[in-house]
């Protein structure tokens, strides 16, 4: 059954929208603009290629990663991009709750880098998800992430988090998916990891350098890729059920996704899993958001599309805009052949915790603001939280370990800001002054322009020091990030 809510309410999940329009019709064939302004039309006949997959064994996954520039082929063109282990995206890491992930990261770049396991509820200290590690060019670092035994299943991802160069390194191609398996398998014909990213190249095939104006709004690439491919094709038989693990790895681009003509069931967003899966026809993933989907195939050809999304403008900042100006065809899904037998029902999911009924230890407000001047390295952009740009030597927020806090996220700017808190997921309890009735957990929460979102956070399991920031990565690099310490 479809959820019957208005398009405006489709935005309440802060990264995923649930629309009430019945699925039907066929997907449109749309164009993407390439770096040379020519168009690439969906239905190119190139089959989707899944990233290399590395699975844990006996509770441990040991991975050797190297970040390095490589000459690779994208959209029929040889280009220079950044890669993990020579691929774009990097390998998918598949684990279970209670596992340990050991990653030896070698930096083959010319600049410092590090690694963030985005969304995983793991320690922020030592050689775990430590944002303050810096790996210089040519050096290596050994990470170890102990995943709690009760960790939420779902879709996560990894990417660099070296302050000042995060946007450049992610835009260049450094990202990969992490899957935490369900304790009880959800029946499906097959599973596909879809890492969606965008990138631009100059005439020499080198990654385009963002202008100051592009950084103000947050850069968006001219090519939108799925697993490093331009408009790949997927095939299925009618009645087959596919599991799609979707990651928005774009630096700034919001993905308002549709797959008309197919039956879509949303299991969860980010680190949150719904108690009861729901049918959807459209969803909005802010940068850093992920979606866990079941697609039950219906005969015909559909196109996975990213619709235009208006994320505001930079106002007086030289008139720059944050809007996606055109629809983009991401992939073609062709369903043909004999019908297959119906699948068993989706197993019941655990009831998610609800912090609205508990005691709140403290309340605070984070104000996201932008202006002219005061940016990093003398740049023209000012991007702040509570009036301060990021300072690695300053603790901005101190919380009590084991406490539950309520945060008002206030956006005074004319651009949306997707707020990401490391280590501890957030429960959304209010949007623009209106209570949120559902139990919704995310680690990236979109705060629309000139609006507010209220969340609650349980600072459990781990103490230590980490960060919160805008996941428009150019804004993060410009200073829209703060340090939080749980004591």
- CA 452 → CA 289, 365, 410, 455, 476, distances in Å? 19, 10, 5, 10, 19
Whether residue 63 is contained in a domain is answered as: yes
Final residue belonging to a domain, choices 335, 366, 394 = 335
- Domain count for the chain, please give it: 3
Whether residue 156 is contained in a domain is answered as: yes
Whether residue 346 is contained in a domain is answered as: no
Final residue belonging to a domain, choices 125, 147, 180 = 180
Among 313, 453, 419, 421, which Cα is nearest to 370's? 313
Residue 345: its pLDDT value, please? 86
Residue 372: its pLDDT value, please? 74
Final residue belonging to a domain, choices 164, 180, 196 = 180
Condensed to tens digits (0 to 9), the pLDDT of residues 463-484 reads 999 999 999 999 999 999 999 9
Same domain, 208 and 331: yes
| Spatial distance between the Cα atoms of 81 and 199, rounded to a whole number of angstroms | 9
Whether residue 345 is contained in a domain is answered as: no
Condensed to tens digits (0 to 9), the pLDDT of residues 333-374 reads 999 999 998 888 888 888 899 999 999 999 999 999 998 765
Same domain, 263 and 314: yes
Residue 38: its pLDDT value, please? 29
Residue 4: its pLDDT value, please? 29
Same domain, 295 and 378: no
Residue 130: its pLDDT value, please? 98
Same domain, 214 and 325: yes
* Structural domain boundaries enclosing 465: 355-486
Same domain, 329 and 364: no
Instruction: Say which CATH number the domain at 297 has.
Output: 2.60.40.420
Same domain, 167 and 192: no
Let me know the angle formed at the C-alpha of 428 by 389 and 116, rounded to the nearest 5 degrees: 50
Whether residue 1 is contained in a domain is answered as: no
Whether residue 3 is contained in a domain is answered as: no
pTM of the model: 0.90
Same domain, 195 and 325: yes
Same domain, 191 and 43: yes
DSSP code string of 85-129: TTBSS-PEEEE-TT-EEEEEEEE-SSS-B--EEET-----STTSS
Whether residue 64 is contained in a domain is answered as: yes
Residue 40: its pLDDT value, please? 35
Same domain, 331 and 277: yes
CB neighbour burial string for 321-356, b if at least 16 within 10 angstroms, e if fewer: bbebeebbbbbbbebeeeeeeeeeeeeebeebeebe
- The continuous run of DSSP H or E covering 431 comes out as strand 426-431
Residues in the chain, pLDDT under 70: 1-45, 315-325, 373-380
Residue 371: its pLDDT value, please? 86
Residue 315: its pLDDT value, please? 58
Same domain, 65 and 153: yes
Same domain, 371 and 328: no
Same domain, 215 and 266: yes
Condensed to tens digits (0 to 9), the pLDDT of residues 385-407 reads 999 999 999 999 999 999 999 99
| Spatial distance between the Cα atoms of 11 and 448, rounded to a whole number of angstroms | 9
Whether residue 4 is contained in a domain is answered as: no
């Amino acid at each position: 059954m479809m959820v019957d809510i208005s398009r405006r309410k489709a935005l309440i999940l802060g990264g995923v929208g649930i629309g009430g329009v019945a699925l039907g019709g066929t997907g449109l064939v749309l164009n993407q603009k390439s770096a040379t302004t020519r168009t690439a039309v969906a239905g190119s006949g190139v089959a989707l290629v899944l990233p290399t997959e590395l699975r844990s064994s006996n509770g441990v996954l040991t991975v050797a990663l190297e970040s390095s520039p490589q000459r690779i082929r994208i959209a029929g063109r040889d280009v220079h991009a950044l890669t993990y282990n020579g691929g774009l995206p990097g390998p998918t890491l598949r684990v279970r709750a209670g596992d340990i992930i050991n990653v030896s990261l070698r930096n083959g770049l010319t600049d410092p880098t590090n690694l963030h396991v985005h969304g995983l509820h793991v320690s922020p200290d030592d050689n775990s998800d430590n944002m303050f590690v810096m790996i210089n060019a040519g050096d290596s670092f050994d990470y170890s992430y102990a995943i709690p035994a009760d960790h939420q299943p779902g879709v996560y991802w990894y990417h660099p988090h070296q302050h000042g160069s995060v946007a450049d390194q992610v835009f260049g191609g450094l990202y990969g998916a992490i899957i935490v398996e369900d304790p009880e398998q959800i029946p499906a014909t097959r599973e596909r990891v879809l890492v969606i990213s965008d990138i631009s190249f100059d005439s020499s095939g080198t990654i385009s350098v963002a202008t100051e104006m592009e950084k103000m709004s947050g850069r968006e690439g001219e090519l939108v890729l799925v697993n490093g491919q331009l408009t790949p094709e997927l095939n299925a038989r009618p009645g087959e059920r596919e599991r799609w693990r979707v990651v928005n790895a774009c630096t700034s681009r919001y993905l308002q996704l549709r797959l008309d003509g197919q039956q879509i069931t949303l299991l969860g967003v980010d680190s949150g899993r719904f108690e009861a899966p729901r049918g959807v026809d459209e969803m909005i993933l802010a940068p850093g958001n992920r979606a866990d989907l079941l697609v039950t195939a219906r005969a015909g050809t559909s196109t996975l599309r990213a619709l235009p999304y208006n994320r505001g403008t930079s106002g007086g900042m030289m008139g720059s805009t944050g809007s996606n100006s055109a629809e983009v065809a991401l992939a073609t899904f062709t369903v043909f052949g004999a019908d297959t037998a119906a699948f068993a029902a989706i197993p019941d999911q655990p009831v998610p915790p609800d912090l609205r009924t508990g005691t709140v230890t403290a309340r605070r407000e984070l104000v996201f603001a932008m202006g002219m001047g005061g940016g990093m390295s003398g740049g023209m952009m000012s991007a702040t939280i509570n009036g301060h740009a990021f300072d690695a030597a300053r603790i901005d927020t101190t919380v009590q370990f084991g406490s539950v806090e309520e945060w008002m996220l206030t956006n005074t700017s004319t651009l949306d800001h997707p707020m990401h808190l490391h280590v501890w997921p957030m429960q959304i309890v209010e949007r623009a002054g209106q209570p949120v009735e559902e139990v919704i957990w995310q680690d990236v929460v979109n705060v629309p322009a000139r609006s507010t979102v209220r969340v609650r956070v349980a600072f459990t399991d781990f103490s230590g020091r980490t960060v919160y920031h805008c996941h428009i990565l150019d804004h993060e690099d410009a200073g829209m990030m703060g340090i939080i310490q749980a004591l």
